Amino acid sequence: MNEDRLTALALGLLRGPGSNARTILGLVGPPGAGKSTLARRLVAGIDRVEGPGTAAYVPLDGFHLSAAQLDRLGLTHRKGAPSTFDAHGYVALLRRIATDRFQDIYVPDFDRTLDEPVAARHVVHPHTRLVITEGNYLAATDTPWPDARRLLRELWYVHTEDDVREERLLRRHRDGGRDEATARHWVTGNDHPNGEYVKPGCGLSTRVVSGAGLPGAPERGSVL
């Protein structure tokens, strides 16, 4: 895993003209591609080089609708689909992150043990210079995802082969308490169509990185 290479690429976004402005880097890809792992490692790597709080993590998963809202909307069986996120709330947070340099900005997350979103798990400090946000739908063309994309300096597509993603997803669902049959049904009936919806967004991304080992990638559309 070439974490140094990826960290260097992310650090490069902080150099040059406009380096005093806050920069937002997006990571997109299908479920199980490795987006959250990559985002957390980039944040840790940048903070080691530039100091604590230089980078911050903002997951789209914090904007999952709660179980109560999914039940109200009849969407429990589609949890994780685009319609099961507060997408407008996510875009509003990105806008605030891009412009508010005077206050701590608290960021929600998704707790897999609770299987619910939780408030204020992460924070963007006033001195934070690079925010790394990740989620399945950052390259989607439906409203309001293009509004989110316009706030990003770059958008990296995390590519992982389907069989690897499937095994990761099965493990995730088993660890969450589902039995083998239920886990497989969820992957084929929910995670798979969500992933297929995400894949065309690869062409809208700035560069592609491999989620199998998370090495860096040089140019749009190519994978190392």
User: With 60 as the cut, is the pLDDT of residue 75 above it?
Assistant: yes
Amino acid occupying residue 39:
A
In a domain, 106, yes or no: yes
Say how many residues make up the chain. 224
Q: Which pLDDT score, from 0 to 100, does residue 21 have?
A: 83
Q: Which pLDDT score, from 0 to 100, does residue 212 have?
A: 81
Residue 214 pLDDT grade (very low, low, confident, very high; cuts 50, 70, 90): very low
**Two structure tokens written together for 171:** 């493990």
In a domain, 49, yes or no: yes
Owning domain of residue 117: 3-210
CA atoms of 109 and 115, how far apart (whole Å): 11
In a domain, 215, yes or no: no
**Two structure tokens written together for 221:** 């559309």
Q: Which pLDDT score, from 0 to 100, does residue 213 have?
A: 63
Burial of 85-109, coded b for 16+ CB within 10 Å and e otherwise, reads bbbeebbebbeebbeebeeebebbb
- In this predicted model, what pLDDT tens digit does every residue of 99-142 receive, in sequence order? 999 999 999 999 999 999 999 999 999 999 999 999 999 999 99
- C-alpha angle 187-202-19 in degrees, rounded to nearest 5: 120
- In this predicted model, what pLDDT tens digit does every residue of 159-176 receive, in sequence order? 999 999 999 999 999 998
Q: What is the CATH number of the domain that holds 161?
A: 3.40.50.300
In a domain, 223, yes or no: no
Q: Which pLDDT score, from 0 to 100, does residue 2 have?
A: 76
Residue 123: other Cβ atoms inside 10 A:
14
In a domain, 123, yes or no: yes
In a domain, 144, yes or no: yes
Q: Which pLDDT score, from 0 to 100, does residue 19 have?
A: 64
CA atoms of 12 and 19, how far apart (whole Å): 10
Report percent pLDDT > 70 for the chain.
92
What mean pLDDT comes out for the span 16-35?
A: 89
Mind giving me the DSSP string for 3-26? HHHHHHHHHHTTSSTTTTS-EEEE
DSSP one-letter code for 191: I
Q: Count how many domains the chain has.
A: 1
Window from 25-29, 31-35, 211-215 with minimum mean pLDDT: 211-215
CA atoms of 12 and 25, how far apart (whole Å): 11
